[in-house]
């Protein structure tokens, strides 16, 4: 008989959220550690799973007296999706406004720049300077690419960004599953809302390709 597969982090987070949503009550950590195994989450994992939900604002945490209580209401998930959508709408409006400003600036800059011999000569000089500047930049980049410290810093930054992106992917999948479980009759409306905020059928975790090893030049 094959060994039963353990729950993934996303599945553990979903199971712990079910405890909060089904009861709509407040819990101590030790109470959650007793309830977790009933949902398939081992006691030793409960603390870390709950903390990850707190870090992502899916579960609230507060100290009352000498005890720390945890809670989460179903409305929190809906509010978070609405907040994400409102943020995207705000960013879109800001981008449209910035685009209009840049178009106006472009039109203003065109004034007084009619073609002339002096302008053509100045532009030729500028192009020559830019070419020389790019050559120097390329030469400098060759040395920078062989800097072990710069390479390690870049590698660490990529790993942090990758982990953060996939952590939010976990959050989105968890929220989608909860909405599907609790509002099956609104499946079509939910799918339309997902598409509006950019969550399409090909939405998935990011794959991190291995970075090539750099050899330090002699």
Collapsing DSSP to helix, strand or coil, 7 comes out as: coil
Q: Which residue has the higher pLDDT, 120 or 81?
A: 120
Domain count, the chain: 2
46: closest CA among 63, 70, 80, 26?
70
Confirm whether 81 is domain-assigned.
no
Residue range 96-108, pLDDT digits in tens: 888 888 877 777 7
Q: Is the pLDDT of residue 92 over 50?
A: yes
Residue range 58-76, pLDDT digits in tens: 888 888 889 999 988 776 6
Confirm whether 93 is domain-assigned.
no
Residue range 19-54, pLDDT digits in tens: 888 888 899 999 999 989 988 889 999 999 999 998
Q: Map tokens 């059928």 to a residue.
A: 201
Confirm whether 50 is domain-assigned.
yes
CATH number at residue 68: 1.10.10.10
60: closest CA among 40, 80, 82?
80
Confirm whether 97 is domain-assigned.
no
Confirm whether 158 is domain-assigned.
yes
The pair of structure tokens assigned to 174 is 């968890």
Spatial separation of the C-alpha atoms in residues 36 and 15, rounded to whole Å: 8
Confirm whether 90 is domain-assigned.
no
Q: Is the pLDDT of residue 216 over 60?
A: no
Q: Which domain holds residue 175?
A: 148-197
List all residues 6 or more positions away from 58 whose beta carbon is below 8 Å from its beta carbon: 13, 17, 72, 76, 77, 80, 171, 174, 175
| Sheet of 60-64, strand order | 27-28, 67-71, 60-64
Query: Cα angle vertex 195, ends 192, 197, to 5°?
Result: 115
User: Taking the model in full, what pTM does it have?
Assistant: 0.35
Which residue, of 18, 40, 73, is where some domain finishes?
A: 73
Which residue, of 29, 57, 73, is where some domain finishes?
A: 73
Across the chain, mean pLDDT equals 79
Confirm whether 14 is domain-assigned.
yes
Confirm whether 104 is domain-assigned.
no
- 211 pLDDT band, cuts 50/70/90, is low
């Amino acid at each position: 008989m094959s060994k039963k597969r353990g729950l993934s982090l996303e599945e553990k987070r979903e199971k712990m959220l079910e405890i909060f949503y089904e009861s709509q009550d407040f819990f101590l950590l030790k109470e959650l550690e007793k309830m977790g195994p009933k949902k398939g989450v081992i006691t030793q994992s409960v603390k870390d799973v709950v903390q990850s939900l707190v870090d992502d604002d899916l579960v609230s945490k507060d100290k009352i007296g000498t005890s720390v209580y945890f809670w989460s209401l179903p409305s929190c998930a809906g509010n978070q999706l609405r907040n994400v959508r409102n943020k995207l709408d705000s960013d879109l409006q800001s981008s449209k406004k910035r685009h209009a400003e840049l178009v106006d600036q472009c039109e203003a800059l065109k004034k007084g720049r009619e073609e002339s011999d002096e302008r053509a000569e100045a532009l030729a000089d500028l192009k020559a300077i830019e070419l020389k500047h790019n050559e120097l930049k390329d030469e400098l980049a060759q040395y920078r690419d062989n800097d072990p410290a710069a390479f390690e810093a870049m590698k660490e930054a990529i790993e942090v960004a990758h982990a953060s992106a996939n952590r939010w992917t976990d959050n989105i999948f968890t929220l989608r599953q909860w909405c599907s479980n609790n509002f099956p009759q609104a499946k079509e409306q939910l799918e339309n809302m997902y598409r509006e905020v950019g969550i399409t059928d090909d939405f998935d975790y990011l794959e991190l390709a291995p970075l090539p090893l750099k050899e330090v030049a002699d």
